[in-house]
């Protein structure tokens, strides 16, 4: 009954693994990629107030102009790039929808989309569903999980339409420096490509300020920039994000969005305005706390002598467990024997094999207990 494209895509490696966790008592989960914080109170309160005032209707397909203006101002402040709120910003149901729209807007059958891996689980499947061909570009711990210009160039053919990047990265915590971005930008111009840049973790960097791909010289017009409120403002359940690009792309994306979603929920849009207006303090507190946890996790994993690349952004650590076993076996045994859930690295692409993703979006007490158990588990494997 189902289409060939649907048949081709695998179920999400994260979901598959979490079927095992659901219903299991006393499991400590460092698996899910979502903040353990509740959305800051000012934001929740503003949503309650919007409901009280009767905001319960559809909005423009593009989203509330007030929200687009707030986002445009915020982007200008952060990156110095101006997006016209009337024509170049589309409010979506999370970055998940924004990514799907970006792919469907630009992809013709058999077009090739280069996907830098390891990466968020939807990147390849959405390309397949739109009739395109995802082309994997694996990265390695030795290269800081960042692709080289040569690796990109090797994968470019006359069918290549775009390249998908996401820094700070899920699952590795890697960031990409400006110099490397500029080298990639040169290739993007030379081969007339589009960059889909998912910058959902842009606020969550710990040692350096994030550079947006679209802020590079000549790149605004070639970039489809995706961002949202799920991570930095702890708003995963509100389903609110945005796509920023040139007018032609936004016009194309809104056509799909109007037939599939109509608009993002008005309550979430009102809450997102409040997040930009008054969410800064809450956001900074959460970021400081993530940073403390990050240092704690890295220290503990180092003490366990696991090969680990220091994460510089997002809220994940991605240690290598190659010397012990494969990713799935390791994660399954850790869950079974020590009741700790992490995600096998191969859920994020084949090059993630031999790693596990540990989310530190969990309380410090939870992290301490989980690290103790992981330490005991490793000891038991050595015996």
- In the complex, the residues that contact ligand PLP under the rule CB under 6 A are 33, 94-96, 120, 166, 170, 198, 200, 228, 230, 236, 241
Shorter beta-carbon distance to ligand PLP: residue 81 or 96: 96
Residue 317 C-beta: closest distance to ligand PLP, Å:
15
Place of tokens 């090797």: 154
Shorter beta-carbon distance to ligand PLP: residue 81 or 166: 166
Task: Compute the Cα dihedral for 281, 284, 290, 291 and give only its sign.
Answer: negative
Place of tokens 């910003």: 89
Task: Please report which helix (H) or strand (E) contains residue 112, including its range.
Answer: strand 112-117
Residue 185 C-beta: closest distance to ligand PLP, Å:
21
Is residue 196 within 8 Å of 165, Cβ to Cβ?
yes
Shorter beta-carbon distance to ligand PLP: residue 95 or 234: 95
Shorter beta-carbon distance to ligand PLP: residue 46 or 92: 92
Which residue is closest to ligand PLP by CB? 94
**Token pair recorded at residue 348:** 């994020």
Residue 373 C-beta: closest distance to ligand PLP, Å:
24
Q: Is 152 helix (H, G, I), strand (E, B) or coil?
A: helix
Shorter beta-carbon distance to ligand PLP: residue 242 or 300: 242
**How many residues are present in the chain?**
383
Residue 236 C-beta: closest distance to ligand PLP, Å:
5
Shorter beta-carbon distance to ligand PLP: residue 198 or 203: 198
Residue 241 C-beta: closest distance to ligand PLP, Å:
4
Q: How far, CA to CA in Å, does 95 sit from each of 188, 250, 265, 321?
A: 23, 15, 14, 30
Residue 314 C-beta: closest distance to ligand PLP, Å:
7
Residue 319 C-beta: closest distance to ligand PLP, Å:
18
234: left (phi over 0), alpha (psi -120 to 50) or beta: left
Contacts 24+ apart (CB under 8 A), 295-301: 296/360, 296/364, 296/367, 296/368, 296/371, 297/358, 297/360, 297/367, 297/371, 300/371, 300/374, 300/375, 301/358, 301/371
Is residue 238 within 8 Å of 229, Cβ to Cβ?
yes
Shorter beta-carbon distance to ligand PLP: residue 216 or 234: 234
DSSP type of residue 344: E
Shorter beta-carbon distance to ligand PLP: residue 72 or 166: 166
- Tell me which residue of 119, 122, 148 sits closest to 136, measured CA to CA: 119
Residue 78 C-beta: closest distance to ligand PLP, Å:
18
């Amino acid at each position: 009954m189902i289409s060939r494209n649907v048949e081709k895509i695998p179920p999400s490696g994260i979901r598959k693994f979490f079927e095992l966790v659901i219903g299991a008592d006393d499991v400590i989960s460092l698996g899910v990629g979502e903040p353990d914080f509740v959305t800051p109170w000012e934001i929740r309160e503003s949503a309650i107030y919007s409901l009280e005032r009767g905001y319960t209707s559809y909005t423009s397909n593009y989203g509330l102009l007030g929200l687009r203006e707030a986002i445009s101002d915020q982007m200008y402040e952060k990156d110095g790039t101006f997006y016209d709120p009337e024509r170049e910003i589309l409010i979506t149901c999370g970055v998940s929808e924004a990514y799907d729209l970006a792919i469907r807007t630009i992809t013709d059958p058999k077009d090739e989309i280069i996907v830098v891996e390891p990466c968020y689980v939807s990147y390849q499947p959405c390309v397949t569903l739109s009739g395109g061909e995802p082309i994997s570009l694996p990265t390695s711990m030795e290269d800081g999980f960042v692709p080289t210009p040569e690796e990109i160039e090797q994968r470019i053919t006359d069918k290549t339409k775009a390249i998908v990047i996401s820094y700070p990265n899920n699952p590795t915590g890697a960031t990409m420096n400006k110099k490397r971005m500029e080298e990639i930008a040169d290739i993007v111009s030379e081969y007339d490509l589009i960059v889909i840049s998912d910058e959902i973790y842009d606020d969550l960097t710990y040692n350096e300020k994030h550079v947006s791909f679209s802020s590079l010289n000549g790149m605004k017009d070639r970039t489809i920039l995706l961002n949202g409120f799920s991570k930095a403002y702890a708003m995963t359940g509100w389903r609110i994000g945005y796509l920023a690009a040139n007018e032609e792309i936004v016009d194309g994306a809104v056509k799909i969005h109007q037939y599939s979603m109509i608009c993002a929920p008005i309550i979430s849009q009102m809450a997102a305005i409040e997040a930009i207006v008054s969410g800064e303090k809450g956001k900074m507190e959460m970021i400081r706390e993530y940073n403390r946890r990050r240092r704690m996790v890295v220290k503990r994993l180092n003490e366990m002598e696991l090969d680990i690349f220091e994460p510089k952004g997002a809220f994940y650590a991605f240690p290598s467990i190659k010397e012990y076993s494969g990713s799935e076996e390791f994660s399954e045994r850790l869950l079974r024997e020590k009741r700790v859930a992490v995600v096998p690295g191969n859920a994020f692409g084949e090059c993630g094999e031999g790693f596990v993703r540990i989310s530190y979006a969990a309380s410090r007490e939870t992290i301490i207990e989980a690290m103790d158990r992981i330490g005991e588990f490793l000891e038991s494997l050595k015996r």
